[in-house]
Amino acid sequence: MHPEPFDAASIRIQPIDWQSTMALRQQVLWPQKPAEHCQLEGDETADHYGAFCADHLLGVASVFTQDSSARLRKFATAKEHQGKGVGTVLLGHIMEELTTRGYRYFWCDARETAIGFYRRFGLEVESDRFYKSGVAHVKMGTLLG
């Protein structure tokens, strides 16, 4: 069952465990792959976030940190909620929290189809195109703070 219509103000972001990210990761990012394709080395120690409306999980994101940099991985919003502000609220929350925690550089391997979305947050393309499982990506990054 899906939540009633919502607006971005009704979305709350909270930490979740990595296991709670798996269903959305697979459904949105790699529906043609087995679930284990979506598990990452280091999931056990990374930070994971869920975007909720009421008790419904609408989006997930995982952040892997090292020294003063943070890498966004497996960022996914349920198909039926894409384009409604869920990802914007989730990514904004993450970047604000990372800045507060003192991280200086934020980056991700972005699907080429999402470059415009990430540019709205100040990320810029930092690599040539490369492919992951046949999907075109580029590295994007920005300084925080």
Residue 131 counted as domain residue: no
Residue 59 counted as domain residue: yes
Residue 24 counted as domain residue: yes
Distance of alpha carbon 107 from alpha carbon 91, whole angstroms: 12
Output the domain CATH number for residue 46.
3.40.630.30
More confident site: 1 or 91:
91
Q: For position 2, what pLDDT does the model report?
A: 43
Percent of the chain scored above 70 by pLDDT? 96
Residue 23 counted as domain residue: yes
Check pLDDT > 90 for residue 50.
yes
Check pLDDT > 60 for residue 4.
no
Q: Give the total residue count for the chain.
A: 145
Q: End-to-end alpha-carbon separation of the chain, Å?
A: 39
The total number of structural domains that make up the chain: 1
Nearest to 95 by CA among 71, 126, 124: 71
For the entire predicted model, the pTM comes to 0.91
Residue 111 counted as domain residue: no
Check pLDDT > 70 for residue 3.
no
Check pLDDT > 90 for residue 133.
no
More confident site: 133 or 64:
64
Whole-number average pLDDT of the chain:
93
Q: For position 6, what pLDDT does the model report?
A: 66
Residue 117 counted as domain residue: no
Domain that holds residue 75: 8-103
Distance of alpha carbon 113 from alpha carbon 110, whole angstroms: 8
